[in-house]
Amino acid sequence: MKLKKLSGLSDIDNKLPLIEKFVARLKKGIKQDIPIVEVEKTKRTHQGVSAKPVHLGLEKGQTVKLFIRVVDEHADLFAININGKNQPLVGDFSIDYMPAFNKSVDMVANVIRKGQAQFEKKQASTPKKATTSNRTPPKNKVQQLQALREQVQNLDEVIAEKQQIKSKLETELAELTA
């Protein structure tokens, strides 16, 4: 397979074959959609190496961040964070040999699948705060989506309470006028 030559970190984008193949294989492995694939615009130094982070927001709320560097004009995945925690890289993440690449991505998918229940439990145990309009909006899109869903749920609860009060008042009014 002929790989695209990269001159630097600025050449890393969503269309990079390494990212496309990683996302496609991860979707298959975790059986979830990955609605957010975002190559962050700034270079960050991770473990003393200049790299470009790629943020993946999974359907059920977990996040994966890939750190990609350029080595010998080729993209190299050298670090992975799952929900903010560094994960050891096991296997070969080079797309030169797809069976090894697929097995490595499947191991990452296995970690994500096994951690989903614990992640959901942690999310459920965190106290829910009432959203106010004067706070700063969350930074990433997954957090924004979660905040909007919480806001919708809170509003639905308020509406249900108000409808109960309204129906109670209507029955009292009907009793008084009858």
- Per-residue confidence at 177, pLDDT binned at 50, 70, 90? confident
User: CB-based contacts of 153: which residues, under 8 Å, 6+ apart?
Assistant: none
Angstrom CA distances, 7 to 41, 47, 74, 93, stand at 16, 21, 8, 20
Report whether pLDDT(63) > 80. yes
Neighbours of 84 (CB within 10 A): 7
Give residue limits of the domains in the chain.
9-125, 129-178
pLDDT number for residue 25: 92
pLDDT band at 46 (very low <50, low <70, confident <90, very high): low
What's the whole-number mean pLDDT along residues 160-165?
91
What is the pLDDT at residue 10? 77
Indicate the helix (H) or strand (E) that contains 162.
helix 141-177
Give the residue-averaged pLDDT of 83-89: 86
Cα 25 to Cα 19: distance, rounded to the nearest angstrom: 10
Q: CB within 8 A of 36, min separation 6: which ones?
A: 55, 56, 57, 140, 141, 142
Whether the predicted pLDDT of 29 surpasses 80: yes
Whether the predicted pLDDT of 100 surpasses 70: yes
**In 42-140, alpha helices (H):** 98-125
Helix (H, G, I), strand (E, B) or coil at 11: helix
pLDDT value for 156 = 92
Q: Which residue has the higher pLDDT, 174 or 46?
A: 174
Per-residue pLDDT tens over the stretch 108-140:
899 988 888 888 888 777 776 655 556 665 567
Cβ atoms of 81 and 55 within 8 Å: the answer is no
**What pLDDT is stored for residue 147 in this prediction?**
85
Average pLDDT, the chain: 83
Q: Write down the residue that tokens 């998918």 correspond to.
A: 109
Distance spanning both ends of the chain, measured CA to CA: 84
